[in-house]
């Protein structure tokens, strides 16, 4: 398995984000059916516009310095699941962005601007899609109720940027503990105010609203209590609980409250979700397990019929074979078995593309994907896999055209810019290559390096005055973005 990061460091980030709250009085919860406190009352602490700016800045910092996963298939699944919940949320003021963090701890977290991260470890332990959805609904509720802003308003001390600095520092600590500690020390004035003990009010509010959201979205409302019970049982005898339990205290009362709230809704029994089981298998095969262990694990599951859905175990085994560079075995499973059963499945199409490229047959991947891309050219899984296959087949201009179209509506997708950079480089279009590389740096918040790349691009532009004008304008935009953050 992949190495996990410091539980203590990461638990602080959840105190700053998902669990920020004022000191609670038990009497507040004498009526479980009381209407939630709507978070817009905290608008004088930080405006929605500023919240989105700070959230964007922290997200850029995370991309550059923490183990955020860039995986179109998993991103597509998580964003779709999150959106199914958000449409049933009250007081959602901006689009939500859901993303994965490569960390085996059981955890999820939310911060400014509708950003919600989920650890791969949480997905690995979730037994059903409703359990995963229950965690997302809880975190969405933290955002819609603006718990961070309400904490700031109650204290009237910490500036948005001070809290953003602390959040960023703790998130960095997942990938680089020493750097994270230094960043947190720089924001110590804010960190001194953020205590683990002050979580009850916001946690119960998020539980209540989240379970209601879960019911409206058509999920099993008993999943919240069942996942609470799973975590409590797994870590009952452990001296160092996971971050999720440290920052989201899991008492018997809280589990009982979740069960009582679920009893207010009709029982709902759902079949296992194919997409959930495939996503879980992908996380286990690609991120949680070492290649050899993954092969043994999924082979054993298939031999003993120890799976919820056979196709998920087959898919996991195929991915494990790919990581072990046994691509012919993977091809037999994915292309000859899984795709024949479900030819439009994005998980299978993604794996088939990688297999064909690994076997030196990228044009077969292009041919396989083309009818699907024609129907949905801006789907991230289809477009990015097709672009990758076209680049591998030395069809650079076609890849560039496809990526340009994709980026018109997905302007912050780093893999697209990375593929674009590769295509321009191999096509020897160096001015465009440096411009694309600048966009990658900007997504990491590295504006100085982005400007450097644009200056290289300017030098390669030659006598193309229109191109030079566009480059100068982009340089100004990057510098303006830096200044806007400073003005916060």
The set of residues, in sequence order, having a beta carbon less than 8 Å from that of 57 and lying 6+ positions away, is: 164, 168, 445, 485
Please indicate if the annotation marks 142 as binding a ligand.
yes
Q: Say whether 412 is catalytic.
A: no
Q: State whether residue 97 is helix, strand or coil.
A: strand
Category of 325 on φ-ψ map: left (φ > 0), alpha (ψ -120 to 50) or beta = left
Q: Is 138 annotated as a binding residue?
A: yes
Q: What's the CA gap between 437 and 426, in Å, rounded?
A: 14
User: DSSP alpha helices (H): ranges in 66-196?
Assistant: 72-86, 120-125, 129-144, 147-155, 160-172, 177-186, 188-191
Q: How is residue 434 written in tokens?
A: 């440096």
- Which of 131, 151, 89 is closest to 114 using CA atoms? 89
CA distance 122 to 135: 9
Give CA–CA dist 459/472, Å, rounded. 11
CB 210 within 8 A of CB 224: yes
Catalytic residue (choose from 51, 102, 139, 220)? 139
Distance CA 121, CA 102 (A): 8
Three state DSSP letters for 4-24: CCCHHHHHHHHHHCCCCCCCC
Instruction: Determine whether the annotation assigns residue 51 to a binding site.
Output: no
Both tokens of residue 26?
């038990």
51 is catalytic: no
Contact yes or no for 457/438 (Cβ under 8 A): yes
Tokens at residue 285, please? Answer: 């095969």
Query: Among 75, 131, 205, 207, which one carries the catalytic annotation?
Result: 207
Task: Give the single-character DSSP code of 173.
Answer: T
Q: How far is CA 67 from CA 3, 52, 97, 104, 234, in A?
A: 11, 22, 16, 11, 25
Structure tokens that stand for 428 in this block: 């020897």
List residues with catalytic annotation: 139, 207
Give the residue numbers of the binding site for Zn(2+): 138, 142, 203
Give the residue numbers of the binding site: 138, 142, 203
């Amino acid at each position: 398995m992949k190495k996990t990061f410091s539980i203590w460091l990461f638990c602080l980030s959840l105190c700053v984000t998902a669990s920020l709250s004022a000191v609670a009085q038990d009497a507040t919860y004498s009526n479980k059916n009381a209407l939630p406190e709507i978070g817009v009352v905290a608008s004088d602490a930080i405006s929605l516009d500023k919240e989105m700016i700070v959230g964007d800045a922290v997200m850029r910092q995370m991309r550059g310095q923490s183990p955020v996963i860039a995986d179109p298939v998993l991103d597509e699944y998580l964003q779709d699941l999150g959106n199914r919940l958000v449409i049933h949320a009250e007081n959602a003021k901006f689009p939500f962005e859901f993303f994965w963090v490569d960390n085996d701890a059981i955890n999820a977290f939310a911060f400014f601007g509708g950003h919600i991260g989920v650890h791969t470890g949480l997905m690995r332990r979730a037994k059903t899609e409703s359990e995963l959805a229950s965690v997302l609904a809880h975190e969405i509720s933290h955002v819609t109720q603006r718990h961070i802003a309400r904490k700031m308003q109650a204290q009237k001390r910490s500036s948005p940027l001070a809290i953003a600095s602390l959040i960023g520092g703790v998130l960095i600590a997942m990938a680089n503990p020493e750097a994270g500690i230094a960043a947190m020390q720089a924001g110590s004035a804010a960190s001194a105010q953020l205590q683990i003990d002050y979580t009850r009010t916001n946690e119960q509010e998020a539980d209540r609203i989240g379970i209601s959201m879960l019911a409206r979205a058509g999920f099993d409302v008993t999943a919240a209590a069942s996942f609470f019970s799973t975590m409590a049982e797994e870590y009952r005898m452990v001296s160092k609980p996971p971050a999720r339990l440290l920052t989201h205290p899991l008492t018997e009362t809280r589990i009982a409250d979740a069960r009582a709230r679920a009893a207010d809704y009709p029982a709902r029994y759902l079949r296992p979700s194919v997409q959930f089981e495939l996503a879980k298998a992908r996380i286990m095969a690609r991120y949680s397990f070492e290649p050899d262990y993954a092969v043994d694990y999924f082979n054993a599951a298939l031999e003993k019929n120890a799976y919820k859905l056979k196709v998920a175990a087959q898919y996991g085994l195929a991915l494990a074979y790919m990581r072990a560079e046994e691509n012919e075995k993977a091809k037999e499973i994915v292309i000859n078995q899984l795709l024949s059963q479900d030819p439009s499945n994005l998980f299978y199409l993604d794996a088939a593309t990688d297999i064909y490229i690994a076997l030196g047959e990228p044009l077969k991947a292009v041919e396989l994907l083309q009818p699907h891309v024609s129907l949905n050219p801006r789907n991230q899984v289809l477009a990015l896999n097709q672009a990758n296959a076209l680049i591998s087949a030395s069809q650079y201009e076609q890849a560039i055209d496809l990526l340009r179209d994709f980026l018109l509506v997905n302007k912050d997708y780093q893999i697209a810019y990375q593929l674009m950079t590769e295509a321009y480089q191999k096509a020897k279009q160096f001015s465009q290559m440096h411009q694309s590389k600048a966009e990658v740096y900007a997504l990491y918040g590295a504006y100085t390096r982005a400007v450097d790349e644009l200056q290289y691009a300017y030098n390669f532009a030659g006598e193309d005055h229109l191109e030079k004008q566009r480059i100068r304008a982009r340089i100004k935009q990057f510098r303006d973005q830096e200044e806007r953050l400073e003005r916060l």
